[in-house]
A = this chain, B = another copy of it.
Amino acid sequence: MVTIYDIAKETGYSVTTVSKALNNYSDVSSKTKRAILDAVEEMGYLPNSHARTLTTKKSWTIGVIFIESLGVGMKHPFFNAVIESFRKNVEVLGYDLLFASRMINNQQKSYLEQFKYRGVDGVVVVCSLFDDVQVKELMDSSIPTVVIDLHSKESAVVNSDNFAGSYKAVEYLYSLGHQSIAHIAGHATTFAGQERRNGFMTSMKTMGLDIPDEYVVNGDYFSREGGYKAMKQLLSLPNPPTAIFTAADSLAIGAMEAIKDAGYQVPDDFSVIGFDDIELAQFINPPLTTVRQDTELIGEESADLLIKQINSQQKIAQSVVVPVDLVIRDSCKALVKEESSKPS
C-alpha cells in the first residue's frame, strides 16, 4: 500500500505538505502541488479512509436499517424503493451506505452501539413499528437520525400523508356510489397502519357513512395472508360491504384472492383499493386501484433532512409528510343502485 509517506519521499516534500496538497490547502504553491499530484497519479496512491476518519471524525458513511415485520429485508418493495432513492441522493455527496450487522467482536450489540462503533455520520431507518426500543434509542442518541414511515414530534421523520391517502380512497369509493365500505387495517403497532385506519374512520364520518364494528378488521402485519383471512371474515358477514379499502397493496392482493376463492369477482362484486402502489399492483388481475406513495420523494426528503443534521451538527426535530396520489386502475367499479332491482 502506498501511503502519504511514500509520496513524500518520492517528491522530497514533507508529509504535511503532501497532505495539504491533497486537501487543497492554500499554503502550498501550485508548482509543488502539481509535482505532488503527479506523483500521486504515478504511484497510484489512494488515501486510507480509516486513517482519515480516525483523525477527522468524519466517516462519510451513513448507516441504514430496516425494521419490518415481514422479515423480507431488502426485498421489501416499499423499503428498497425508498432506500434506493435515498442512496442516489446522498451518493453524489460522497456518502456510502452501511448495512449493519450488530455483531462486534462476536458479540450481539444494539444498532446504536454498532453505529457508534462504526462511526457513521448519520443513520436512516425505515421503520413502521411504533415502539421499537432500538429505534427509540437511536432517535434519542446524539447521532443524526432520520426515520422513515414513523411519526414523532421529537425527531426527524418523513412519511407519506397516510391520513389524506385514506381520505382520497374513501372519497373515491363514495363517489362511485359505495356506502358499505370496509377497511382491512394494517397492524396497530404500526404508525402507517394506525394513521390509515384513522383516516378511514374520519373520512367515513365526514361522508356521513356508517362504520359497523365488523367492517374494520385487522389484516395483521401487512401480509397477503392477513388480507386473505380478513377478507374471508368480511365475506362471512350477514351484510358484507360492497367495497374494501385496505391499508396496503399486499393486503389488497390477499383480499382479492379470498374474493376469487369465494367465487366472486373484482370489481363486479366487490371494489377493492390498496395502498402503496408497489410494482405488482399494476400487473395483478384486475390492476389494482391504489394510493401511491412517492418513494422517490420520500427518499429525497429523508436524505435532505439527514444531511442537514449532519452538516449542522445538531438534531432537527422536523416531520415532513409527503403527499400521496390515488391511482385509478380497474379494481373499483361504480355501484349499480340495488334499489331498482331489489325494491325494498
**For window 223-268 of chain A, which residues contact chain B by CB distance below 8 Å?**
253
Chain A stretch 101-128: residues in CB contact (< 8 A) with chain B: 101-106, 113-114, 116-119
Q: Which residues 75-108 of A have a CB within 8 angstroms of B?
A: 75, 77, 80-81, 83-84, 87-88, 90-106
**A96 to B103 Cα, complex, angstroms:** 9
Q: Known: A49-B119, A117-B47. Contact between A101 and B105, CB under 8 A?
A: no
Tell me, in angstroms, the Cα distance from A75 to B74 when the chains sit together: 9
Q: Are A54 and B46 in contact (CB under 8 A)?
A: no
- B residues less than 8 Å from A93 (CB atoms): 103
Any B CB within 8 A of the CB of A314: no
- Interface window among A157-165, A188-196, A213-221, A280-288: A280-288
CB within 8 A of A101: which of B23, B47, B91? B91
In the assembled complex, the Cα of A117 lies from the Cα of B297 at a distance in Å of 31
A133 CB–B CB distance under 8 Å: no
Given the contacts A99-B87, A279-B280, A283-B280, A106 and B94 also touching, CB distance less than 8 Å: yes
Q: Which of chain B's residues have a CB closer than 8 A to the CB of A97?
A: 98-99, 101
In contact, B87 and A74 (Cβ under 8 angstroms): yes
Given contacts A74-B87, A92-B103, A95-B101, contact A113 B46 (CB under 8 A): yes
Q: At the interface, yes or no: A53 with Cβ under 8 Å from chain B?
A: yes
Question: Does A152 belong to the interface (CB within 8 Å)?
Answer: no
In the complex, chain B residues whose CB is within 8 Å of the CB of A91 = 101-103
| A136 contacts the other chain (CB 8 A) | no
Whether the pair A100, B96 counts as a contact (CB closer than 8 A) is yes
Alpha-carbon gap, A322 to B113, bound state (A): 37
Question: Are A118 and B49 neighbours in the complex by a CB distance under 8 Å?
Answer: yes
Answer whether residue A69 sits at the interface, using C-beta atoms and an 8 A cutoff: no
Question: Which residues of B are found within 8 Å of A106, using beta-carbon distances?
Answer: 94
B94 touches A104 (CB 8 A): yes
